[in-house]
Amino acid sequence: MNDFVLNIPENMLPHRLGQKSVWEKSARAVLALLGDVVGTEGLAEKAILHYGCGAKVSKLFLENDIAIKQYTGIDSNGELIAFLQSAVSDARFEYHHANIHNALYNRQGLELSHLHSLPVEGRTFDLICLFSVFSHLAPHDYKPLLRLLRPHATDNARLVYTLFLNERTRGGYAMMDKWAPVIEEYGDIPADAVVPDFVDFFPDQPLRAAVYSRAYALELVRGSGWQVEEVRDPMRYLQHVFICRPA
C-alpha cells in the first residue's frame, strides 16, 4: 500500500462500481484471474494490453503496489483516457484512446471492421485482456476485434476475455441466473432447448447485455488467429471467461 490515490471522477465509473466494496472486489477478481492464467512467473514479468480498460484495474494496481512489468490500457472513452494520462505518472503505465464505435458506449466512433490497427502498432504483449467488453459487443464486431488484437500477441501470449454465455450455472453467476427474476416469461431453459446464437438482452438498451450461445461464441473465434484453450464458468464479479492462445 502506498499513498497514491487514483480519484476516478464519478461520471467515469459504471454506476454499480461507484461503491468501493464493489469496484475493489471486482478488480481483485480480475487480478486473481490474471495471476492464475500467467502462473508462477507472475505479472511482474508480463507486459499487459488491457483493451476497454476502464479505470478500476489501474486503481487497484497503482494503489496497492501490485508488481507488473508494463500495463497498456486502450479505451474508446476519450475523456477517461485523458484523465488516466494526466493522473498516472508511473512509467510502467500508459493509456491510448481508440475512437471505436459501440452502440452502448460510443455511438460516434469508427466501425471496428473498418480498422486495420490499434494505437499500439508494432508492439506485442504477453497478456491481452478484456473484461466486460465482449459483454457489450455486437456479433459483427466479435471476430474483427479478435483479429485486431492478434498482431499484438507474443508467441506465448494468452488472451483472456469475459462475456455472457446464454446458460445457467450451478454456481448461479451467469447472465441467465442473474436476470432470472426479471425474465420470468423466459422460463427455465430446458436441457434440450435450442439456444439462440445471440440475444441483445435488453432490446431498448442496445448492447447493455450481449448474450451469446457457447457454440456461437466458440465459432466466432475460428479463423480469427486465436484458439480457445479453456472456457471457465462465471464467478462472482466475473462472467464466463475465455482463455485463448495464438492459433
Ligand X SMILES: C[S@@+](CC[C@H](N)C(=O)[O-])C[C@H]1O[C@@H](n2cnc3c(N)ncnc32)[C@H](O)[C@@H]1O
Q: How far apart are CA 144 and CA 155, in angstroms?
A: 20
Residue among 131 and 226 whose Cβ is closer to ligand X: 131
Mask: binding to ligand X, 35-74, rule CB under 6 A, as x and -? -----------------xxx-x------------------
* Site residue total, ligand X (CB under 6 A): 17
Residue 234 is given by DSSP the state: P
- Tally of CB atoms within 10 A around 10: 8
Q: Does 166 sit near ligand X (CB under 6 A)?
A: no
Residue 162 or 166 with smaller CB distance to ligand X? 162
The number of CA neighbours under 13 Å toward the Cβ of 152 is 24
Stretch that binds ligand X, among 64-72, 125-133, 153-161, 170-178 (CB under 6 A): 125-133
Q: Which residues contact 114 (CB under 8 A, 6 or more apart)?
A: none
Among 37, 48, 100, 127, binds ligand X (CB under 6 A): 100
Q: Counting contacts by CB under 6 A, is residue 98 touching ligand X?
A: yes
- Consecutive H or E run containing 12: none
Among the listed residues 231, 208, 50, the one whose alpha carbon sits nearest the alpha carbon of residue 138: 208
**DSSP strand E in the chain: where?**
47-51, 70-75, 93-97, 125-130, 153-165, 198-200, 210-212, 226-232, 240-246
Which CB atom, from 144 or from 195, has the smaller least distance to ligand X?
Answer: 144
Asked if 211 touches ligand X (CB under 6 A), the answer is: no
- CB closer to ligand X out of 53 and 68: 53
Cβ proximity to ligand X, 56 vs 143, nearer residue: 56
Q: What is the chain's alpha carbon radius of gyration, rounded to the nearest angstrom? A: 18
87 is a contact residue toward ligand X (CB under 6 A): no
Nearer to ligand X, 97 or 192 (CB): 97
Q: Give yes or no for residue 132 binding ligand X (CB under 6 A).
A: yes
Q: Which of 72, 76, 166, 224 binds ligand X (CB under 6 A)?
A: 76
Whose cell is 478488480? That residue is: 27
Give the Å distances, CA to CA, from 96 to 121, 131, 158, 190.
Answer: 11, 17, 21, 45
8 A C-beta contact, residue 104 and residue 41: no
Binding status of residue 105 toward ligand X by CB under 6 A: yes
Question: Does 34 participate in binding ligand X (rule CB under 6 A)?
Answer: no
Instruction: Considering the complex, state which of residue 119 and residue 196 has its C-beta at the smaller distance from ligand X.
Output: 119
Query: Which residues here bind ligand X, judged by CB under 6 A?
Result: 14, 52-54, 56, 75-77, 98, 100, 102, 105, 112, 131-133, 136
